[in-house]
Amino acid sequence: MTKKIYLDNAATTPIDPAVLEVMMPYLTDFFGNPSSIHSHGRKVKSAIENARKTVASLLNTSPGEIFFTSGGTEADNTAISQSVATLGIKHIVSSRLEHHAVLHTLEHLEHAGKIKVTFLENDSQGVLDIDSLPAILENEPNSMISLMHGNNEIANLLDLHKVGEIAREYNALFHSDTVQTMGHYAFDLQTLPVDFIVGAAHKFHGPKGVGFLYINANHRISPFIHGGAQERNMRGGTENLYGIIGLAKALELANAELQEHQRHVKGIKALMIQELKDKIPGVQFNGRSADVENSLYTVLNVSFPEHPDNEMLLFNLDIEGISCSGGSACSSGTNQGSHVLNALNVDGGRANVRFSFSRFTTEEEIRQAIQILQRIFTA
């Protein structure tokens, strides 16, 4: 049987064996409830706080600014909705290219009459008109900017420092969905002008169902989930103990060899770009994903030429043992296509596929995938 090739790491990454190893004792021996005052509870409560310190240290911030969540979606929802509820935000500037965790939250709040939303314009490559921010914010007090760091479909990167400085100048809050870039880029929250960022462990070889929200200590928001005093009264619900342990270890491993991981994955991406150009005439790339040095290096969005079997391309690739996607995994099963590519007015007659890589992706897998793609498009 041909070895299956996994090229959908933007959806989720395989768990690192070293992460699973540190999680296992908290699935078996150390099972206490962190809220219990007896020794079983104290043992695991201490482990959670050590994990919090690890995450905070890696981001160069205080443990008191890190709050564990069920993942990136909850973290995004909390930052946005509770800033509106607690901090008096009435206007949010965002883009049509955001993840639905942000877009659907904005839609809900706007329909409820709680905020006004302004979307930045983007060009055909998905580049946002950041220079229009000052004019937008000048006449809109009580504003927040919510823009993702690295786009999960077209790999465009946002200049966090530039946007953050504009936010500071106009007294706006700045929230960035950093789910795709956490664990792949270094973050220094002592110098980065941001109020909220988020992480999800399964995007950097940790377990699913756990993430975190960074809240700048200058802000105090109300809980999004009620029901208990966990997370220093910020999130009700018994903690995902082993998930939190795994998240901290995964982020630690990601940062320990960050430059080597970047070098390897950029090489993988560059190889696939060149092989696609050489082997499949008419291939194009969406957004800025083919700019290896200036895009999210884990993601490549490929536009294949028109072909009779284009509608079945993802299905046929799956049959051939290649796992990839047409866009965000959170939107799979819909018939509306990618909202990101729609916003770029991408040619609907072509087949658009997102390939995404990790430090476990090999050159051999890329070359094998190219052979399969070449056979499909030359048949």
59 touches 187 (CB < 8 A): yes
| Rounded-to-integer distance, Cα 120 and Cα 141, Å | 17
Are the C-beta atoms of residues 6 and 323 closer than 8 Å to each other? yes
**Pairing of the two strands 351-356 and 299-304:** antiparallel
Q: How far apart (Å, rounded) are the C-alpha atoms in residues 59 and 326?
A: 32
Q: What are the two backbone dihedrals, phi and then psi, of residue 346, each rounded to the nearest 5 degrees?
A: -70, 140
**Residue 324 is among the residues annotated as catalytic for this protein:** no
**Residue 245 DSSP SS3:** helix
Element at 323 (helix H, strand E) = strand 322-323
Which one from 117, 330, 343, 372 is the annotated catalytic residue?
Answer: 330
Rounded Cα–Cα distance for residues 10 and 8 (Å): 5
d(CA 147, CA 145): 6
CB 260: neighbour CB atoms within 10 A? 10
- Residues 6 or more apart whose CB falls under 8 angstroms from that of 248 comprise 50, 51, 52, 54, 55
CA distance 276 to 109: 43
Which of 184, 242, 180 has the alpha carbon at shortest distance from 208?
A: 242
Catalytically active residues, by annotation:
330
